[in-house]
């Protein structure tokens, strides 16, 4: 026990000192003591003592279980203590592919869908797949759920009045235990456009169409949607003919809507008004816009950012500062931004329109950060996306895990011939961390990774109770 206690404390200190530069690679949290008791029960109690749901009773259970009965995995104490390399360098922030255990049951490749992430699952809704030689284009009226603990996709069945025709480039966000969906388009793009607001109860899988009162938002796709307290902000978008940068404020408890911001004139190109497929972020009661596209195909740059002041109801522009080496990020749309460290966001992915070949091309695979206090851009030089991707669906959960699914990758058959670019939809799932995991999360993840068959978490749920695993972890399995 003393060796394990010392090792756990050393693990905690090392993770904090090395921050993102080290990671436990081969540490095993399972052993059998001289009385054949499973020490993982003690480890869960030791590591997760800050969990209010972990009772003293569960931490002191006396049931004796053999390791073969639990997980069919044997590891001796001598082997654990004699291991010479508990730490292998691994960048926690690097994107890595999370491959489903059952790769035969997963979403079809797609783009234009949207995602939200909860503590236990990634949810994706909608999407588009273009026509090919064998079949026509497809719009996906599908709700898929990826359970992080089980590493399993599930195609969910829903009821109620949900979106039917506008299944691409809609806006989507999480509000409490509900999924909010606004706008979107069908195929051909722009033929069917919506200004409906739908709510999906994630527990009951039931859709409801909301009746918005007072002023109505425009029918658009490619809008941004942000939740701040009980207010839902909808801004920008297009109906394929006109583009806007209007701002609407929907008070969610009453569903009353106010038109609080009007479309501004772009300073980058005075002939442009409005944007779509931009990203937006609220900082200190101001909404910042990042990138997006316009009617001419332009992808807006990041040197000047539009900012909407929620207090004054006015648009303005702020001048940003470039990275001293890499200058500004490439202008783009169809990208993603998420909260990063204090006062910062992280940005990746996206595409710009190439007029010579009349198609979108993915920007490079670099990952950027923006500091709101310094108004400065910085590149993360040692971090990249596995593949430059756009029109993907991405989300972040409260643990700071970013999940990104699907989208479009650009492929070239000739390095020097830009006319040989082609587009490919994918269904790959990637994950990265934006902050250090706490020790209880590390324990949980290594417990899961050591199981030879994760289906036992469903078929034998009593094992987790006997091991004293806190409910906040067991409740993620469904």
Model pLDDT for residues 176-228, shown as the tens digit of each residue: 999 999 999 999 998 899 999 999 999 999 999 999 999 999 999 999 999 99
pLDDT at residue 47, as a whole number: 43
Hey, what CATH class is 96-433 in? mainly beta
- The CB density around residue 417, as the number of other CB atoms within 10 Å, is 10
**CA atoms of 246 and 232, how far apart (whole Å):** 14
Strand bridging mode 152-156 / 143-147: antiparallel
What are the E-state strand segments in 270-400? 279-283, 286-290, 304-309, 314-319, 336-339, 344-348, 351-354, 359-362, 366-371, 376-384, 393-396
Q: What is the pLDDT of residue 186?
A: 94
Output the pLDDT for position 269: 86
Q: Where in the chain is the domain with CATH 2.120.10.80?
A: 96-433
Q: What pLDDT is recorded for position 42?
A: 38
pLDDT at 421: 73
Cβ atoms of residues 188 and 141 within 8 Å: no
Can you give the pTM of this predicted structure? 0.83
Name the strand (E) or helix (H) holding 414.
Answer: none
pLDDT score recorded for residue 355? 81
**C-alpha–C-alpha distance, residues 142 and 445, integer Å:** 29
Stretches where the chain sits below pLDDT 50 are 1-88
Residues 5/6/10/11 CA torsion (nearest 10 deg): -30
Nearest to 105 by CA among 138, 64, 146: 146
For residue 82, the SS3 value is helix
């Amino acid at each position: 026990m003393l060796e394990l206690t010392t090792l756990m404390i050393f693990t905690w200190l090392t993770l904090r000192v090395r921050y993102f530069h080290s990671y436990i690679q081969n540490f095993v949290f399972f052993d059998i003591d001289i009385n054949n008791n499973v020490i993982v029960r003690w480890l869960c109690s030791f590591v997760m003592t800050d969990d209010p749901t972990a009772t003293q009773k569960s931490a002191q259970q006396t049931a004796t279980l053999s390791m073969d009965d639990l997980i069919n995995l044997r590891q001796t104490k001598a082997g654990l203590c004699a291991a010479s390399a508990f730490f292998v360098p691994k960048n926690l922030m690097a994107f890595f592919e999370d491959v489903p255990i059952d790769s035969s049951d997963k979403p079809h490749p797609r783009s234009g869908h949207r995602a939200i992430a909860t503590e236990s699952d990634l949810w994706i809704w909608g999407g588009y797949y273009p026509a090919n030689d064998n079949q026509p284009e497809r719009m996906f009226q599908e709700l898929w759920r990826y359970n992080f603990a089980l590493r399993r996709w599930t195609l969910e069945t829903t009821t109620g009045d949900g979106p039917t025709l506008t299944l691409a480039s809609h806006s989507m966000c999480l509000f409490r235990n509900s999924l909010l969906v606004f706008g979107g388009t069908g195929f051909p793009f722009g033929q069917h456009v919506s200004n409906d607001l739908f709510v999906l109860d994630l527990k009951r899988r039931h859709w409801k169409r909301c009746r918005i009162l007072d002023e109505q938002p425009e029918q658009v796709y490619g809008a941004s949607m942000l939740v701040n307290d009980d207010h839902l902000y909808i801004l920008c978008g297009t109906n394929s003919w006109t583009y806007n940068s209007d701002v609407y404020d929907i008070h969610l408890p009453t569903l009353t809507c106010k038109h609080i911001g009007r479309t501004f004139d772009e300073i980058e190109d005075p002939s442009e008004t409005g944007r779509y497929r931009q990203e937006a972020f609220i900082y200190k009661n101001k909404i910042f816009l990042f990138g997006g596209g316009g009617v001419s195909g332009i992808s807006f740059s990041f040197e000047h950012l539009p900012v909407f002041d929620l207090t004054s109801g006015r648009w303005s522009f702020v001048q940003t500062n470039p990275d001293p080496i890499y200058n500004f990020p490439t202008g783009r749309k169809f990208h993603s931004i998420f909260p990063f460290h204090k006062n910062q966001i992280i940005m990746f992915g996206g595409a710009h329109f190439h007029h010579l070949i009349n198609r979108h091309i993915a920007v490079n695979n670099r990952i950027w950060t923006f500091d709101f206090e310094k108004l400065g851009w910085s590149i993360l030089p040692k971090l990249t996306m596995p593949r430059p991707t756009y029109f993907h669906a991405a989300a972040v959960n409260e643990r700071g895990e970013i999940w990104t699914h699907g989208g479009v990758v650009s492929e070239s058959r000739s390095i020097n011939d830009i006319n040989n670019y082609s587009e490919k939809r994918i269904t790959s799932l990637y994950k990265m961390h934006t902050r250090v995991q706490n020790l209880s999360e590390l324990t949980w993840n290594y417990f899961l990774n050591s199981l030879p068959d994760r289906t036992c978490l469903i078929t034998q749920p009593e094992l987790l109770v006997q091991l004293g695993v806190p409910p906040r972890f067991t409740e993620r399995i469904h």
